[in-house]
Amino acid sequence: MVAVHPAFFALLFGALVSITATGHITIALLFHISLSWSFLVVWQAIAAAVIILPATARGVSRARAFELLFLAHVPWSLSLLAMATIIPVAPIVPIPIVVLALMVPIAWTAVIISAFCQTILGATRRVARQLTLVHQLVIWGATLFYLWFAVGGWVPILQQVGL
Amino acid sequence: MRRPRLLSAALLLTGLVIGTLGESMPEPAPRRAGGYWILAAVFHTHAFPGDGGLPPWALRHEAARAGLDVFAISNHNRVSTARLARWMARRSDGPIVIVGQEVTARTFHLIAAGIEERVDWNTSPAEAVRAIHAQGGVAIAAHPVGRYLRAWDETAVAILDGYERAHPAMEEDERWNADLAAFDATVRARHPRLAPIGSSDFHWTGNVGRYRTYVLARERTAESVLDAVRAGRTVAMDSTGRLYGDPALVRTVAAATRFITPPADRWRLVSIGLVWLGLLGMVVL
């Protein structure tokens, strides 16, 4: 059961990329795109491991803790579903609006992770905040690294933010 | 809770099956005119891993679905994905894959098509063009609009092989549309052999063949396509089907056509709607 939520997130990402990038969806497209982007799930698992494995006051098994933490995909999954609806109608959205829209899943995820750290890992509020920060740093560090790779260095990224 | 989730999964599966069964692929229709093959090409696309959503094999499938005969993968400052795509395509039918790079510098972007090794981006446009030529590739000024326009001085333009005349930037900003038209008028007045190019600049959205180039090639090979670009035997097409280029070539291409939009997949929206609802149900229920 521990693999169900990660697998679902990979499937959801693959389906939404297929819809936005090609305007249609087939079983083959879904399979190929989900498989290609499944490294996102590995990143999430690594970020989860960073906070789950050292926790000594856990109230559940490691596997169950991983499973529960993967439930935190809901804010991003809903955001991706919204994007897949908006992009075909309005493919060009100004960057400030995109950034503002991203704040919702970012903040919501942080709240969920923090609650997870307190209730499942038995962390105090202060430690939970620190663990949430570490978790998000791992996720966003990896995201920035991929972005750097994908656009061929920092030049295009800096250009996009007007530098 | 179990039943709603099962229903959601059933919706998802039904949508997938409908999408799969309804997928349409245009029949390859080789077109010839005046001793040339008229090939539909896109020289500017992005793929995964890189700044594109689709892995190379899925992008090739989509290129075929869009009726393209040739496409180049031109990721930002990298050629590894394009080389992988060409390697994977070597023994199967489908569009010809050309290895490319979008040379991404601060003041200009430049498509290098037909190269093998990465071209250094940290240089002047003219030097980048020479580096592309040294590898046997063709150099195409990418979206010469706004801040990417000013770097194209006479030295660089004089040695270019082509420039993007039709690009999604046309739809994004009226000033960019005007920039493309002005660049076209200026460079063609001085260098009429320069190839006008239509590029979808496909990343994550749209249709890989919505903007394209019709290439008049002697043979249906990558080399012949690149030769046609060097000789300026191209016609650019925008998303409305408008053609740009030498009037005689435009007439030839227009007369030979039955081109452009691939047939719409049957039940496409139904399939997408069911998949979307299924996913939503599985997330929230």
Facing residue for B16 by CB, picked from A30, A77, A81: A30
Amino acid at B11: L
pTM for the structure as a whole: 0.92
Average pLDDT over residues B108-137: 96
State whether A159 and B268 contact (CB < 8 Å): no
Nearest to B102 by CA among A114, A69, A151: A151
State whether A20 and B205 contact (CB < 8 Å): yes
SS3 state of residue B1: coil
Whether B257 has its CB under 8 Å from any CB of chain A: the answer is: no
Please check the confidence at residue A161 and state whether its pLDDT lies above 80. Answer: no
- CB A37 within 8 Å of CB A11: no
Whether A108 has its CB under 8 Å from any CB of chain B: the answer is: no
Please check the confidence at residue B16 and state whether its pLDDT lies above 90. Answer: yes
Give Cα B209 distance to the centre of its chain: 6
Per-residue pLDDT reduced to its tens digit, B153-193: 999 999 999 999 999 999 888 999 999 999 999 999 999 99
Whether B14 has its CB under 8 Å from any CB of chain A: the answer is: no
Tell me which chain A residues have a C-beta less than 8 angstroms from the C-beta of B54: 17, 21-22, 33, 36
Read off the pLDDT band of A156 (50, 70, 90): low
Count residue pairs from A and B with Cβ separation < 8 A: 119
Residue in B closest to A16 by C-alpha: B276
- CB B255 within 8 Å of CB B242: no
Higher pLDDT, B202 or A93: B202
What is the secondary structure of B161-208 as a DSSP string?
Answer: SEEEEE-THHHH-HHHHHHHHHHHHHHHHH-TTSEEEE---BSSSS-T
Facing residue for B62 by CB, picked from A22, A81, A152: A22
State whether B265 and A24 contact (CB < 8 Å): yes
Read off the pLDDT band of A56 (50, 70, 90): confident
The pLDDT, as a whole number, for residue B49 is 95
Read off the pLDDT band of B260 (50, 70, 90): low
State whether A74 and B204 contact (CB < 8 Å): no
Tell me which chain A residues have a C-beta less than 8 angstroms from the C-beta of B205: 20-21, 87-88, 91
- CB B71 within 8 Å of CB B42: yes
Per-residue pLDDT reduced to its tens digit, B189-236: 999 999 999 999 999 888 899 999 999 999 999 999 999 999 999 999
Distance CA(A16)–CA(A14), nearest Å, equals 6
* Helix axes of B268-284 and B2-22: crossing angle, nearest 10 degrees: 160
Average pLDDT over residues A74-84: 92
Read off the pLDDT band of B256 (50, 70, 90): confident
Distance CA(A137)–CA(B266), nearest Å, equals 44
Please check the confidence at residue B262 and state whether its pLDDT lies above 60. Answer: no
Q: Where are the alpha helices (DSSP H) in B49-124?
A: 56-65, 80-89
State whether B280 and A81 contact (CB < 8 Å): yes
